[in-house]
Structure 1
Amino acid sequence: MSEASTRTLIDDLRAVVADAEALVAATAGDVSDRARSARDRATGSVENARARLAELEADLRRRAKAVKDDATQYVHDNPWQSVGIAAAVGIVVGILLGRR
C-alpha cells in the first residue's frame, strides 16, 4: 500500500470516527433508556475504533519505513542494477505514454 493511499485510508477512518462522535454528542439530550443504551454502545465502539485506528496508523508507518529502508539498502548494495531497473521502468513508461 502506498503512503498516499495509507494516508487517505487513515484520514477516511478518522472522519468516520469523528462522525460517530458527533452522532453520540447529538443524542446526548435524549434521556430514554434505549437512546442512552445505544449512545453508550456507540461511545464504546468509537473508543475502540479510535484505539484500533492508532494501532493501524503506527503499524502502517512501521511497514512503510521498513520498505523504504529495504529499498534504500538494496540501492546502496546494487547501484548499477538499480540504475538498470530504473532505466527499464522509464523506457516502459515512455512507451506506454507515447502510445496515447
Structure 2
Amino acid sequence: MSQRYETERAVLMDDVKQVLKDAEVLYKAAVDDGTQEGKILKEKLKAQLTKAQEQYAHLESNVVEKTRAAASNTNDWVHEKPYHAMGVAAVAGLLLGAFLSRCGR
C-alpha cells in the first residue's frame, strides 16, 4: 500500500509541476493578447489543473479512508486488549518523558 501511495503522490507532484510550467508559459505569452496560441495555452492549463485537482481529490479520499480504517482497527484492538493498550501507552509516556527530560538539559 505504501508503494501505491508513493506512486500516486509522485504522479500528483508531476502534474502540479506541469501546471506550474504551463502557467509560466502562459504568463510569458501574455494571454490577454487574444492570440490563438494564448487561447490554446489557457485551455491546456485548465485541463492540467482539472486533472491535478481530480487526482488530489482521489488521493485525499484514499488517505481519509486509510486513516479511518487505522483508527477503527486501533479502537477494536484497545477494546479487545485494554491492558496491552495501557502498557503501550505507559511505555510511550516513559520514552517521551525521557526524551523531553534529556532535551531540556
Q: Same fold (TM over 0.5)?
A: yes
Aligned to 2:38: 35
**Pair 1:73 & 2:76 matched:** yes
Structure 1 ranges of 4+ moved more than 2 A: 26-30
Unaligned 5+ segments in structure 1 are: 1-12
Per-residue CA deviation, residues 26-57 of structure 1 (Å, 9 max, x unaligned), is 86633112211111110100111111111111
Q: What is the total number of aligned residue pairs between the two structures?
A: 82
Q: How does 1:20-99 map to 2 (within 5 A)?
A: 29-99=32-102
CA distance in 2, matches of 1:54, 1:95: 40
What is the letter of the counterpart of residue 36 of structure 1?
K
Identity of aligned residues (%): 22
Does the 8 Å CA contact 1:75/1:82 hold for their aligned counterparts?
A: yes
> Given the two structures, how large is their TM-score scaled by the length of structure 1?
0.69
